[in-house]
Amino acid sequence: MTIERLQTDIFILGSGGAGLFAALHANAANPELGITIATKGLLGKCGCTRMVQGGYNVALNPGDSIERHFMDSIEGGKWLPNQELAWTLVNKAVERVQELENELGCFFDRNPDGTLHGKAFAGQTFDRTVHKGDLTGIEIINRLMEQIWARPSIHKLEEHRAVALIKARDGASIAGVLLLDIRTGTFRFVQAKAVLLATGGGPTMYRYHTPSGDKSMDGLAMALRAGLTLRDMEMVQFHPTGLLAGSDTRMTGTVLEEGLRGAGGYLLNGAMHRFMGDYDTKLERATRDIVSRGIYAEMKAGRTTPNGGVYIQMSHLGPAIVAKKFKGMVDRCRDCGFDLAGGLVEVVPTAHYFMGGVVCAADTTTELPGLFVAGEDAGGVHGANRLGGNGVADSTVFGGIAGDVMPGWIVANPGFRAPNEDVLAAETERALLPFQKPQGDLNRLREALLDAMWDNVGVVRDADGLASGLVKIDAIEAELLTVGVGDVDRAFNMTWQDWLNLRSLCESSRVIALAAIRRENSRGAHFRTDFPAPGDFLTSRFTVARQVDGLIAVAEEPVRFTHIEPGQTLLNTELTVETELTVE
Ligand SMILES: Cc1cc2nc3c(=O)[nH]c(=O)nc-3n(C[C@H](O)[C@H](O)[C@H](O)COP(=O)(O)OP(=O)(O)OC[C@H]3O[C@@H](n4cnc5c(N)ncnc54)[C@H](O)[C@@H]3O)c2cc1C
């Protein structure tokens, strides 16, 4: 098998907020460096940063403070976040939003006095989510892309899929990445001095899910095979309000943003009862995990809408106001035949964000020298729950940090490293496996995985369900390895891409199930009916998973409370300005 060879100083996998920020910062640090971005889709058109609707959390306005933002993030994460990462997030978010506006030209919505407008987002003690209407991600990615296109020295490999992280011959550092050019079916090995993993997680193995179709947990599957440690893998965030538009449309599962509940939207069950009061005193403004479980309980009890979910109602806030404030959402619902402003829209919890990821330090370094990680591929920033608005802050903050740090790392660790050719050959063969098998029913296997994860490893879990989910995942992957893709032409062979997606999803699903079995308590996004209590926060532990000799080993490590311990409050967290629920 021929593998084309390329070289670049810095190699960035993924073109979301993390990848693009890294490229710009690395270029600013040293314009002489060779920087290459590879992305599975089209630059600026793929990934989830573009899909960000609600906004970006930042403590900028009077009355708020970074300490309050930090406390909200730690308490929302149920004391599991790596506090150094969370502290870096809330501090750097201030600088990053100013950079987005003043250097990149983003224009976020403002209050009459000229300050940035902050939306109310669930689980937060201050309205700090800055936004551009409800299409914030498009504003951010478009401005980033303008800057990337203005720098022709940044090389772009579009529709290139990373297949494997390849270590150096001595195994002590990373040597580069094996890529598959989706357009031609050609394999390329990109040798790099520093590599950034920023493929954006993407829990698309659930029946209902929000992330873009190009995301299939490839980054975490590759990291696992390269021997890296993953943490918090049981922590899958379900957004409570995924659109439920029937089984025959890909729009089902896409998210209706948090601001709808923040602005005062009601959730009603099939009997038109506003049920969230039965589950939490904060009603619809409770955190995502609580609202998702409330909806799931209504579904399990059969109190559902015609398509099996619940309703969201906004009309009591005034249809004209809703149409103005949530234009993108209203248009999206209208496209699917629903009137969000004046009527009722069916919704269902939908897998939205992956809190788990590669263990890393606040400077984005990992345990494998030369490999950096940022954005949704990184673990530990959010612990058991990500606050709405902290996701895009995470990817832009840590992407920028990676771009600042990698040029210096290259100076300290100069030169390219020779790859382990045996692993390179084995990974290429692994990707080509389906061409040696008879064609089978890939779609049936994908549907089986979606159901197994939703039914057994989803919003509500228990030991028996998880064990049976694990058996199903193993069986699905075993069958996948016997199923071929039929067409021998490798150029734009989307069945082959689906096969590879499904393999990554099976590998990461197994780790999610095993970590969920290991965590015998309920924290944030992880809820077990057989262990409903959260456990003692002071002795909090997080799960770590590694692949050893082809098998996954899950262990636990103690959380280090480097800034604040459970029961303590940071100075400067007093609320000095009352927050209000307003719909202007
Ligand atoms: C519908 C929706 C709404 C959201 N709204 C908000 C919000 O309001 N506020 C908020 O804070 N967060 C929100 N989020 C979460 C937010 O989008 C993510 O946290 C963040 O954008 C992730 O950025 P990233 O750079 O890590 O990944 P992404 O932006 O997802 O980029 C990942 C990139 O990696 C590429 N890639 C994937 N696999 C490979 C591979 N094998 N090889 C090469 N490239 C690959 C993809 O094509 C893509 O370019 C939302 C998410 C969704 C899905």
Provide the pLDDT for residue 431. 98
- Category of 318 on φ-ψ map: left (φ > 0), alpha (ψ -120 to 50) or beta: left
Which of 8-12, 284-288, 494-498 shows the lowest mean pLDDT across its residues? 284-288
Distance CA 14, CA 395 (A): 11
Distance CA 69, CA 66 (A): 5
Which atom of ligand 1 sits closest to the CA of residue 393? Answer: 11
Which of 162-176, 243-257, 538-552 shows the lowest mean pLDDT across its residues? 243-257
Which atom of ligand 1 sits closest to the CA of residue 161? Answer: 42
Give backbone dihedrals phi and psi of 303, rounded to 5 degrees, phi first: -90, 65
Distance 170 CA to ligand 1 centre (A): 33
Which of 153-167, 282-296, 551-565 shows the lowest mean pLDDT across its residues? 282-296
Q: 269: burial class by Cβ within 10 Å (0-12, 13-18, 19+)? A: buried
Please name the amino acid found at residue 286. Answer: A
Residue 132: both structure tokens together: 């551009």
Q: Do β-strands 35-38 and 154-157 pair in parallel, antiparallel, or remain unpaired?
A: parallel
Which atom of ligand 1 sits closest to the CA of residue 212? Answer: 53
Provide the pLDDT for residue 574. 64
| H or E element in which residue 392 lies | helix 390-412
- Could you say which DSSP state residue 117 is in? P
Residue 426: both structure tokens together: 């084995």
| H or E element in which residue 476 lies | helix 463-480
To test the ligand 1 pocket, which listed residue (12, 37, 52) has its Cβ within 8 A of the most ligand atoms? 52
Q: Report pLDDT digits (tens) over 199-240.
A: 999 999 999 999 999 999 999 999 999 999 999 999 999 999
Provide the pLDDT for residue 257. 82
Give Dmax (Cα) for the chain. Answer: 67
Provide the pLDDT for residue 575. 54
Q: At what angle do helices 83-102 and 66-76 cross, to 10 degrees?
A: 130
303 near 267, Cβ under 8 Å?
A: no
- pLDDT of 17 > 60? The answer is yes
Q: 19: burial class by Cβ within 10 Å (0-12, 13-18, 19+)? A: buried
Distance CA 148, CA 197 (A): 18
Provide the pLDDT for residue 249. 80
Q: What is the DSSP string of 242-257?
A: EE---TT-TTTTPBPP
- pLDDT of 572 > 90? The answer is no
Distance 3 CA to ligand 1 centre (A): 29
Which of 48-52, 163-167, 285-289 shows the lowest mean pLDDT across its residues? 285-289
Average pLDDT over residues 102-115: 95
Residue 65: both structure tokens together: 């403070």
Q: How many CB atoms lie within 10 A of CB 467?
A: 13
Q: Report pLDDT digits (tens) over 360-396.
A: 999 999 999 999 999 999 999 999 999 989 999 999 9
Provide the pLDDT for residue 56. 96
Q: Do β-strands 236-243 and 344-354 pair in parallel, antiparallel, or remain unpaired?
A: antiparallel
Q: Which of 50, 128, 239, 332 is catalytic?
A: 239
Residue 51: both structure tokens together: 């899909």
Provide the pLDDT for residue 37. 98
Q: Which of 25, 68, 69, 261 is catalytic?
A: 261
Place of tokens 């400077």: 363
| H or E element in which residue 10 lies | strand 3-13
Provide the pLDDT for residue 113. 92
Provide the pLDDT for residue 430. 97
Whether 161 is catalytic is no
To test the ligand 1 pocket, which listed residue (48, 109, 177, 236) has its Cβ within 8 A of the most ligand atoms? 48
Place of tokens 């199923």: 483
Place of tokens 């403004």: 285
Residue 116: both structure tokens together: 């940035």
Distance CA 24, CA 32 (A): 13
259 near 54, Cβ under 8 Å?
A: yes
Distance CA 311, CA 251 (A): 16
Residue located nearest, by CA, to atom 47 of ligand 1: 40
Provide the pLDDT for residue 121. 80
242 near 332, Cβ under 8 Å?
A: no
Distance CA 3, CA 180 (A): 10
Distance CA 251, CA 253 (A): 6
Distance 214 CA to ligand 1 centre (A): 10
Length of the chain equals 584
Q: Residues with Cβ within 6 A of ligand 1?
A: 13-19, 38-41, 46-49, 51-55, 161-162, 198-200, 210-211, 214-215, 218, 255, 353, 375-376, 388-393, 395
Distance 486 CA to ligand 1 centre (A): 31
- pLDDT of 563 > 60? The answer is yes
Q: Report pLDDT digits (tens) over 136-160.
A: 999 999 999 999 999 999 999 999 9
Average pLDDT over residues 489-500: 96
- pLDDT of 453 > 90? The answer is yes
CA distances from 70 to 24, 58, 320, 393 (A): 27, 10, 36, 13
Residue located nearest, by CA, to atom 36 of ligand 1: 199
3-class secondary-structure state, position 372: strand
Contacts of 475 (CB under 8 A, 6+ apart): none
Average pLDDT over residues 287-313: 94
Average pLDDT over residues 503-523: 98
Residues paired with residue 556 on neighbouring β-strands, in sequence order: 543
Query: Which stretches of 233-381 are DSSP H helices?
Result: 259-262, 288-300, 319-325, 327-335
Residues paired with residue 13 on neighbouring β-strands, in sequence order: 38, 197
Provide the pLDDT for residue 1. 74
Which of 17-21, 99-103, 259-263, 568-572 shows the lowest mean pLDDT across its residues? 568-572
- pLDDT of 122 > 80? The answer is no
Q: Report pLDDT digits (tens) over 392-449.
A: 999 999 999 999 999 999 999 999 999 999 999 999 999 999 999 999 999 999 999 9
Which of 1-10, 115-124, 561-570 shows the lowest mean pLDDT across its residues? 115-124
Distance CA 85, CA 230 (A): 15
Q: Report pLDDT digits (tens) over 54-76.
A: 899 999 988 899 999 999 999 99
Residue 580's pLDDT band, with cuts at 50, 70 and 90, is: very low
Average pLDDT over residues 256-281: 93
Distance CA 48, CA 540 (A): 31
Place of tokens 């890393």: 360
Q: At what angle do helices 218-225 and 494-518 cross, to 10 degrees?
A: 70
Provide the pLDDT for residue 568. 87
Average pLDDT, the chain: 94
Residues paired with residue 166 on neighbouring β-strands, in sequence order: 176
Q: 455: burial class by Cβ within 10 Å (0-12, 13-18, 19+)? A: middle
Whether 316 is catalytic is no
- pLDDT of 576 > 60? The answer is no
Place of tokens 């660790």: 413
Provide the pLDDT for residue 486. 80
- pLDDT of 274 > 90? The answer is yes
Residue 583's pLDDT band, with cuts at 50, 70 and 90, is: very low
Percentage of the chain exceeding pLDDT 90 = 87
Residue 288's pLDDT band, with cuts at 50, 70 and 90, is: confident
